[in-house]
Structure 1
Amino acid sequence: MATLPNRKRIWGWMFFDWAQQPYATLGLTFIFAPYFAAVATDALVAQGADLADAKVDAQTMWSSAQTIGGLVIAFTAPFLGAWADAAGRKRPWILLFSLLAIVCAAMLWNLTPDGGNLMLMLAAFWTGFVFSEMAFNLNNAFLPDLGTNDEVGRISGTATAFGYWGGVVSLFLMLLFFAENETGKTLIDLAPAFGLDPETREGTRFVGPFIALWFAVFLIPFILWSRDNPAIKRQRPSFNAVLADLWISICRVGKKPSTRAFLLSSLFYRDALTALYAYGGIYARQVLDWQTIQIGVFGIIAAIAAAIISWIGGIADHKFGPRPVIKACIWVLIGVGSIIVGMSREHVFGIPLAEGSAVPDILFYLCGAAIGGAGGALYSASRSMMVRHTDPEHPGEAFGLFAFAGKATAFLAPALITVFGILTNSNQLAFLPVIFLFLIGLFLLRWVQPDGERSA
C-alpha cells in the first residue's frame, strides 16, 4: 500500500464495495425486501388468505426465489472464476455483470402496492442480485494482488468497512428524502422528494432507481483505477479446457485438508449469515409489525455497526489472524439467532410482556447491530482467510470456489426456513435451522489451519 499507483488500485477495488453495497443494504434487507413482503401479504389477503398464513406465505415466496438465485450463483461462480483466470481478464466481466444488475435494479420501481406484477418484480430483483454477486465475486479475486498475505486482512477489513459506510449513507438518503411511513412522510417528516406520490408508495419504490444510480456513479473509480494483472497473458480459452482446469483445481482442493475444511465450514456459516441478512427486515415487518421507517433505522444501526466493527475486525485479523475473528463472530450470530427464535411481540423466551412493551423493539435493534457488526467482520475475515488458501496463479478460480462455498447450499437455509415455517406456522421458529448451520460451521473450523496451507 506504499506506492501511489497501488493506493489507487486499492481505492478502485474498494469503491466496488461502496458501489455495490446498496443492492444488499437497501434491496436485500432493509427497504425492498420488507416492502415486497408487505405487498405480497396484502395481495394474498386480498385473494382470501388468512393474515397469519399470508405472512408466512410471503416469506416462503421470498425464500424460494433466494434459493434459486443462490444456486445459480453457486454453480456459475467457479466456472466464471476459472474462465477469467484462463482468459487473463476479469474486469470486462465485472463491468458487464454490473451493468445488468443496474438495469434489473432500475426495474424495481414497478412493484406497485396492488401487487399486480409481484412475481415479475421478484424475478427482477433476484436476477439483478445474481449479476451483482457475480461481479462482486470476480472483484474479490483482485485482492491477492493488492498486498502481502499479512496485509490483505487489513485491506479486506477496510474495504468491507468502506462498503458498509456506503450502505449507511445510501440508507440515510433513502430514509431522509424518499421512503415514506404510513402517514406518507419520510423520517424527517418531509414528503418524498421530486414530487413522488406517497399514496402509491413511489418514495419507497424509488429504491430501485436509487440503487441503479448509486451503482453506476460509484463504479466510475473502479473503471478508472482497477486493471487486470498485466503479467497474465490474455487468451481465448476453450470451454472444455476451462472445465478440465476447474476439475483439476477441485481435485487439488480435495487433497488440501485446511482448504477443504475452510470451504466446508464457510459453506454452512455463510449460508446462515445470508439468511439473517435476507430475513432481518422481513422478520421485523412480519413479527414485530415494524413499518418502513423503523426498519430503515434498524438498518442504519446495523450498517454503522458493520462499518465500525469490520474495520476493527480488519485490525484484529492483521494482529491475530482471521480464524479467531471468524469464531468470535459466529458465536455472536448464534446468540442473535437464539433471540430471534425466542422473541415475539408478546414474550421473550416464554416470559410474557406487557401490551405495547418496547422490549422486543430494543432487543431487535441490538440484534441489528450484532448482525451488521459480526456479519461484516465475518465476511471480511473469511475473504482474508481465503487468500491464505489461494494459489497466486489462479486467484479467480480460488475465489470462484469461495463463492461456490458461500452459495452451494444457498438452497439449504431458505429451504429449511420454508419447511420449518410450514411445519410450525411461525416466523420465529422458522429460524431454528439458522442456528444449526452456524454450529456446523463452527465445528468444522477446528480443522482449518490459522495460516492456511502454509502451516498445515
Structure 2
Amino acid sequence: MSDLVEPRASRRGIWGWMLFDWAQQPFHTLIITFVFAPYFASAVAPDAARGQELWGYATGVGGLLIALSSPVLGAIADASGPRKPWILAFSVLGVIGCWMLWFAVPGMENLGWLLFFIALAVFGMEFAAVFNNAMMPDLVPRAELGRLSGSAWGLGYLGGLATLILVLGLMSASPDTGRTMLGLEPILGLDPAMREGDRASGPLTAIWYVVFLLPMLFFTPDVPRRGPSAGAIRRGLAQLVSTLRALPKQRSYLSFLLSSMFYRDALNALYAFGGIYAAGVLGWSIIQIGIFGILANITGALGAWAGGFLDQRYGPRFVVALSTVLLALCCLVVISTTQTEVLFLTVVADGSSSNLPDLTFYAAGGLIGAAGGSLQAASRTLLVDQVEKERVTEAFGLYALSGKATTFIGPISIALVTGFFASDAFDLSTQDAQRLGVTPVIVLFVIGLVLLPWVRTKGYGKAEG
C-alpha cells in the first residue's frame, strides 16, 4: 500500500497521542520503580525482604486481572470502534489507585487496603495503555511507525525524568537531615519524618496523568464506530474465538506473543524490583535510588529515540534481539553486585570502603534504561506487523495477555523465591535472599530471546524475516 493512501493524523493529533507516554511514564518511574516501591519496602513493610514479597503479590494481582480480561475487551473495542472511552474509564481507576498511596504511612499495620490500591493502580494504568497503543497504526504510515513509537517512548522517559527531579529535588527529603537532594526543605510543608515527600509521589502521578492525558482525548483522532453498540460484545467475542483458533497456524504471530511474554515480564520485574533491590542489598537511600532513576530515564529517552531509528533502518526484530541480550547481561551484573562485591568478586575488604559497587550499579542502570526504552518501543511496531489494522486493539489485548500472563508470574515468582530463601530453613542474610529472589529475571530474558527467530517483520531500509 502506498504511503499516499495510508493514514496520517494532524501534527496536533500525533503529539496528543505521544503525550500519553509523557503522562503515564511517571507512574512507572515514581510508583513502580524509584520512589514509592523502595519506600514501601524500606519503611512501610516490616522489612525489605517482606516488602519485596508483598510488592510482588500486589503488582502480580494487578497483572493477573489484566491478563484475564484484556483480550476480550480488546476484541469488543475493535468490534465497536472508538478507543478513547476505554482509555478514559481505565484512567479513572488508575488515578484513584495512585491517589490513595498518599495514605501509606511508615510502619502501618494494616497493609491489605494499600495492596488493593497498588493493584488497582497497576490495573488501570496498564489497561489504559493497551487501548492507547492500539491507536498508533491509524496515525502514520507503516514505514514511520518505528520512529513514532520510539519518539513517544523517549518523550515518556523525559516525563518520568521531569517528575523524578521534581520529587527528589523539592519534595522527598531524608528523614535524618530533613533536606531534599538539592539541599532544600521540602515544599508544601511536607514532613520528612512521616516520609510525606515519598508518599506524595502518588497524588503527583495522578495529577500529572490527568493534565497530560487531555491533549490525546481532545486532539488525537479516534476510529469511527463500526457497528451498533448492542452487538459489539457478541461480534467481539466471535472475532476473538476465531483469532484464538487460528493462532496456532500463525507461527510468527504466536512466536512473537510468546517471546514478548517472557522478555517483557523480565523487563517489568527488573524495573519493579530494581529500586527495592538497591535499597535492601546496597543500602541506598531514596535520594541515591532517585539519582539512579534520573540516569536510567535519561538513557531510556536516548535509547528509545535511537532504537526508533534502528527500527526504521533494520526492522524491529533486530532492535528487540539486541536489547534483550543487553538486558540479560545487565541483570547478571546487578545481582552480582553488593556493598562488597562486583561480578561476585570481593572488592571491599573488612574495614575498608569502595565506590565501585555503586558505580557498577549506576552503569548497569544506565544500560538497562537505554535497552529497555528501545525494547518497548520496537515491540509495539513488531506487533503491528503481525495483524491487520482492523484487529489491532484485539492484538494489543492479546499482547497484554501474553505479557501479563507472566507479569503476574514474574513478580510472584520473585516473591516466592525471596520468601523461600529468607525462611528459617536457610541461614542467609536478607541481602542474600533478595539477590537469589531476583534470579528468575535472567531466565525469562533468555527464553524470550530463544523464541524470537521465528518472528517475521516488515523491515524497512533492510528487509527482515
TM-score in same-fold range (> 0.5): yes
Whether 2:22 is the aligned partner of 1:13: answer no
Given the alignment of the two structures, is residue 127 of structure 1 paired with residue 120 of structure 2, yes or no? yes
Kindly report which structure 2 residues correspond to 1:332-351, keeping only aligned pairs within 5 A, or say none. Answer: 332-351=326-345
User: Is 1:188 matched with 2:182?
Assistant: yes
Which of 412, 419, 436 is 1:429 aligned to?
436
Q: Does residue 448 of the first structure (1) align with residue 459 of the second (2)? A: no
Matched with 1:255 is 249
CA contact (8 A) 2:94 2:125 kept: yes
Mapping for residues 48-197 of structure 1, pairs under 5 Å: 54-182=47-175, 183-197=177-191
Amino acid at match of 1:112: V
Q: Any conservation in 2 of the 1:15–1:219 contact (CA below 8 Å)?
A: yes
Structure 2: how far apart are the matches of 1:181 and 1:129? 27
1:209 is matched with: 203
Give the deviation of 1:100 after TM superposition. Answer: 1.9
Note the alpha carbon deviations across 1:424-454, whole angstroms, 9 max, x for none.
33111212211111011000001111328x9
Higher mean C-alpha deviation, range 354-363 or range 130-139: 354-363
SS in 2 for 1:237: helix
TM-score by length of 2: 0.91
Counterpart in 1 of 2:390? 393
Gaps of 5+ in 2: 423-432
- Deviation of 1:243 after TM superposition, in Å, equals 2.2
Q: Give 1:318's aligned amino acid.
A: Q
Name the SS for the 2:338 alignment partner.
coil
Q: Secondary structure at the match of 1:112?
A: coil
> Counterpart in 2 of 1:245?
239
Q: Which amino acid aligns with 1:16?
A: F
Q: How does 1:205-354 map to 2 (within 5 A)?
A: 205-230=199-224, 232-233=226-227, 235-237=229-231, 239-354=233-348
**Deviation, structure 1 residue 117:** 4.1
- Offset at 1:455? 7.8
> How far did residue 245 of structure 1 move?
1.8
How many residue pairs are counted as aligned between the two chains? 444
CA apart distance, 1:415: 2.7
CA contact (8 A) 1:137 1:399 kept: yes
Supply the AA of the counterpart residue of 1:424: F
**Alpha-carbon offset, residue 308 of structure 1:** 0.8
Q: Is structure 2 residue 405 aligned with structure 1 residue 408? A: yes
Q: CA deviation at 1:55?
A: 2.4
Q: Tell me how far apart the structure 2 counterparts of residues 283 and 152 of structure 1 sit (CA, whole Å).
A: 35
2:60–2:407: 8 Å Cα contact kept in structure 1? yes
Q: Residue 40 of structure 2 aligns with which residue?
A: 36
Deviations 1:121-154 (A, max 9, x none): 2221221121011101110000111122211011
Counterparts in 2 of 1:309 and 1:429: CA distance versus 1, 3 Å? same
Could you report, residue by residue, the CA deviation over 1:275-301 in whole angstroms, capped at 9, with x for unpaired residues?
001001100111111111111111000
Identity %: 43
Cα separation, 2, equivalents of 1:220 and 1:69:
25
Deviation, structure 1 residue 251:
1.8
Cα distance, 1:450–1:395 mapped onto 2, change above 3 Å: closer
CA contact (8 A) 1:340 1:431 kept: no
Q: Are the aligned partners of 2:153 and 2:304 in contact in 1 as well (CA < 8 Å)?
A: yes
Q: Which moved more, 1:438-447 or 1:222-231?
A: 222-231
Q: 1:116 to 1:420 in 2, by over 3 A?
A: closer
Q: Which letter maps to 1:15?
A: L
Cα distance in 1 between the residues matched to 2:280 and 2:22: 30
* CA positional deviation for 1:372: 1.2
Task: Write the deviation string for residues 398-425 of structure 1: whole angstroms up to 9, x where unpaired.
Answer: 1111111111122322232223223433
Matched residue type, 2:332: S
3-state SS of paired residue (1:409): helix
Distance 1:191 1:273 in 2: 35
2:373 matches 1:376 = yes
Question: Match of 2:430?
Answer: none
Distance 2:237 2:137 in 1: 23
Shift of 1:64: 1.4
Q: Distance in 1 between matches of 2:322 and 2:440?
A: 20
Does structure 2 retain, via aligned residues, the 8 Å contact 1:308–1:373?
A: yes
Cα distance in 2 for partners of 1:383, 1:99 equals 24
Do the aligned residues in 1 keep the contact of 2:104 with 2:114 (CA within 8 Å)? Answer: yes
The CA distance in 1 between the partners of 2:53 and 2:327, in whole Å, is 22
Contact 1:333–1:371, Cα closer than 8 Å, also in 2 = yes
3-state SS of the aligned residue for 1:219? helix
Over 6 Å off, 4+ runs: 1-4
User: Which residue identity is paired with 2:108?
Assistant: G
Contact preservation (8 Å) 2:315, 2:464: no
Q: Is the 8 A contact 1:12 1:221 kept in 2?
A: yes
State the one-letter code of the partner of 2:121. Answer: G
Check the 8 A contact 1:110/1:117 in 2, yes or no.
Answer: no
One-letter amino acid matched to 1:433: P
Say whether the 8 Å CA contact 1:91–1:227 is kept in structure 2.
Answer: no
Q: Secondary structure at the match of 1:228?
A: coil
1:299-328 C-alpha deviation (Å, 9 max, x unpaired): 000011100110000000001100111011
> 1:49 matched to which residue of 2?
none
Letter in 2 for 1:444: L
1:87–1:236 contact (8 Å) kept in structure 2: no
CA distance in 2, matches of 1:315, 1:260: 26
Following superposition, the deviation at residue 231 of structure 1 comes to 7.1
Question: Following TM superposition, by how much is the alpha carbon of 1:219 offset from its aligned partner in structure 2, in angstroms?
Answer: 1.1
* Alignment-mate amino acid for residue 321 of structure 1: G
Q: Could you tell me whether the CA contact under 8 Å between 1:111 and 1:117 is conserved in 2?
A: no
Secondary structure at the aligned position of 1:428 is classed as: helix
Alpha-carbon deviation of 1:26? 0.4
Q: Deviations over 1:59-96 (max 9, x none)?
A: 11111112211111111111111111111121011011
| Distance change in 2, residues 1:34/1:416 (3 Å) | same
**1:126–1:231 distance in 2 versus 1, CA, 3 Å:** closer
